[in-house]
Chain A
């Protein structure tokens, strides 16, 4: 049995359905992420798990027990808020001691647990400081220490890194992974940042308009997006749409305007005539000088734009009908300083199983 079961949960605000019949099951010890754009319902779902909001339909079960009757203060669930929500009139110690005090812990227990929690987040010696005397990353760590000190069953994190700058965010990601591993507590993490989700999670549920579009491991979410939305939202993706012209034992041919017939492996059963979309990641495309022989899918074009990013270069190639294909080339190959310039005729190629077929 899963630790946390969300069964057909729905939440409406007036005419707007924020969470629409969502079902998830989260295992003990898992780092689970709810990923989606703002307004997709991920935060509403998190607030319902915490108890700040109640579902209009469906149930939330923790270890098989319905949480509906328990107010937030009674749930063995803690939240790390986006704004950290540290109590400004209490020191770091006072903040971390707060949940222990609420649980009526003894003075000795409070002292030893607060000291332990401070060490866990590498803030020993900061106990007597006030929140306004801390940096963003330190506040973040206090918020996590405060939430973890009573060893909750589930830790909910609401965009906890959104307020940090990029470099610090990366450090904190690594720390979060370590902390989760060490504490062995189930993390439910809400974010709109897809790279963060991919880096941190054991599993990701991609949400859109109140529904879960796909739930899977990061590599499968990235590599095998089930819907156009997921393909588009996670990373960069070329989406080629058109009618299916043939299905030859799992190899589907799609007639794409501007590219011609494109073959792709499909794991769903699809018949000729049905519309379909091929999701193709830019880094899966080989880009060569025009006329170079390639195998698999081929397509000619002209470099319309390029973005030199340092480690990689992104090429936007215009095809015969003017539509753009995005291809990415690592700058790691030796021997050449630069590959192509704007205006160069190029030939793109990719293997049949480089792309991913999405039925519509």
Chain B
């Protein structure tokens, strides 16, 4: 019995050990390095200044944190990133819900094909897909000409589509849409038709059936999709770099700048940590709201 227990625990380590080791080396340690770096002074030519300076004093400080919290421009960029990520998440939800419903309700033989179509964009490179939007939104493309033609008719000056917040948001939604569709589909596909029949039998019209039954039951899928869209959208830098205008600098761009251009590692670390904490906090709030909602459970006083 003892030996079998030992064998069992050895098996457990064999299975969970490698991924755990991987996460420690490539996630936990770098995060700790970043956390340590955030308290250091930037080096004269980039990187970090020595931990112990010439006078023999330990060079640890909160200057980079102070900079983030005292200079409003950084907080504004950060807030803008949150707004972009929220708008992206919301637009993805609005587009993905009907699509996921359609796939979940279609005949079994079409479902796999439809799901394949949803993930088909992943088969080509992310940057290539972003560059494709440069062509689609470019000033000589049919889309810009059509839009500006219509605007011209009502006497509004032509607007550029490319290098704008619009271009950034369109591409953010496009890139993240599958991450909303898949968890929503996985949830909606399991819904029991008998519940909708029962709701209808008990007097609920189509809208009430959706709002009172389908939507609340799909919330786990909504939360999963929202997290999968919101968190990467919050840290993105390539899309605003390629498609955005001068005002579309987001926190991701700022972090990239700090590490690659300004070479201010401590401040880049601070921005990364704030980003991580904000994502965690928002996810925590979402989970808390979800739990509260579930506990109320449509009791008669709710």
Contact = CB atoms under 8 A, between A and B. Distances in A.
Interface string B176-208: 000000000000000010110111111111001
A72 B201 CA distance: 5
A52 B197 contact: yes
A102 interface: yes
Contact of B297 (A98, A130, A147): A130
Contacts of A74: 203
A123 B302 CA distance: 20
B191 to A, nearest CB: 10
Interface in A96-111: 97-99, 102-103, 107, 110-111
B120 interface: no
Interface stretch (B25-33, B77-85, B210-218): B210-218
Contact of B298 (A71, A83, A91, A103): A91
A247 to B, nearest CB: 52
B125 interface: no
B198 A79 contact: yes
Interface string A104-147: 00010011001000000000000110100000000000000011
Contacts of B195: 85, 87-88
A88 B194 contact: no
A50 interface: yes
B299 interface: yes
Given A89-B217, A93-B300, A83 B192 contact: yes
A81 B194 contact: yes
B20 interface: no
Identify which of B199, B208, B298, B302 gathers the most chain A CB atoms within 10 Å of its CB. Answer: B298
B294 interface: yes
Contacts, number: 85
B205 A97 contact: no
Q: Which residue, of A71, A73, A78, A95, has the highest number of chain B Cβ atoms within 10 A? A: A73
Interface string A315-355: 00000000000000000000000000000000000000000
Contacts of A88: 195, 217
Contact of B202 (A91, A98, A110): A98
A127 B200 CA distance: 22
Contacts of A50: 201
B204 to A, nearest CB: 5
A81 B298 contact: no
Contacts of B204: 73, 98, 102
Interface in B283-302: 294, 297-300, 302
Contacts of A48: none
A301 interface: no
Contacts of B192: 83, 85
A154 B201 CA distance: 12
Contact of A94 (B200, B203, B297): B297
A253 B203 CA distance: 58
B202 A94 contact: no
12 contacts: A79-B197, A79-B201, A83-B192, A87-B195, A87-B213, A89-B216, A91-B298, A93-B299, A93-B300, A94-B300, A102-B208, A127-B299
Interface of B: 192, 194-195, 197-205, 208, 212-213, 216-217, 294, 297-300, 302
* The 8 residue pairs across chains A and B that have the minimum distance between CB atoms: A94-B298, A102-B203, A90-B298, A85-B198, A99-B202, A85-B194, A91-B297, A79-B201
